[in-house]
Amino acid sequence: MVLTLSASAQDITISGKPCVGSNQTFEYALANRYDSFEWNFGDGTTSTDKKPSHKYNAAGTYTVKLTAIKNDTVNESISITINKLPAIAFSADTSGQGKMVSFKITTTASSLKNTWKFGDGGTSNDDNPTHKYGAPGSYTVSLTSEDKNGCVSTIDSTLTISASNKVPNVFTPNGDGQNDYFMISCNEGSRLKLEIFNRWGYKMFSRSGTENIVWDGYNPQGTLVSPGTYFYVITVEEGTTNYDPLNGYITVYY
């Protein structure tokens, strides 16, 4: 004759963060007295492990049932509440001076512990931080938020920092002391290369530098170029490896 017992749910312990997608480990305090186990996790899944782990894919309250068998059969049950992950989103304002970017959390969730990774090694625990990038490029910004239940969400977004805040589109190399040069400024920690081409694709100028790069309007033969529209390409040689070239047009007139 098999004796069926009903024991206290206190004999079952659950470890793990009570969050969607997190591992929950179930353990029966008297498991060594029994040979076989059947766990029903309340979401349509089961396990015959002695100490099973399980992930819930939806928030809610579940009744976990255990049947343990040897000479007798024990039936136990316990409830577990699974919490949803915090919903998070953020925006980035790149209009600041000197590659200063302002980040803002745009969700209504409150009491979150936030961790920012800006993609260049910089971090912050502020809710709405600002961060200065030292070189142009594409950066993966990551926000990780943890709520009061220990549930964690992470989102990533790609942020592009341009090679220069402002690239002039016209200059007049006529020697009058006003707007005589086409100049770009390098960000700290970066090395840029500036190339100028005429409308037929011939290179009029090429120079690399870590500070200001200046074109005075002369071609490689030392002759002042003719008035007209020229094409520039700015590339990063040092400071980042994932930056797309910046290009545009510059007009020369006297």
> Which tens digits make up the pLDDT trace of 230-246?
999 988 876 554 456 77
pLDDT reported for residue 34 = 94
8 Å CB contact between 68 and 5: no
pLDDT reported for residue 175 = 85
> pTM to 2 decimals?
0.61
Fold of 90-161: Immunoglobulin-like (2.60.40)
For domain 3-82, the question of CATH label 3.30.565.10 is answered with no
Q: Where are the domains of the chain?
A: 3-82, 90-161, 170-252
Q: What average pLDDT does the segment 75-97 reach?
A: 90
From 3.40.50.970, 2.60.40.3080, 3.40.50.300, 3.40.630.30, which CATH number describes the 170-252 domain?
2.60.40.3080
pLDDT over 60 at 8, yes or no? no
- Give CA separation, 42 vs 6, 15, 62, 82, 151, in Å: 18, 17, 5, 12, 21
- Residue (of 126, 143, 46) closest to 87 by Cα position: 143
pLDDT reported for residue 97 = 62
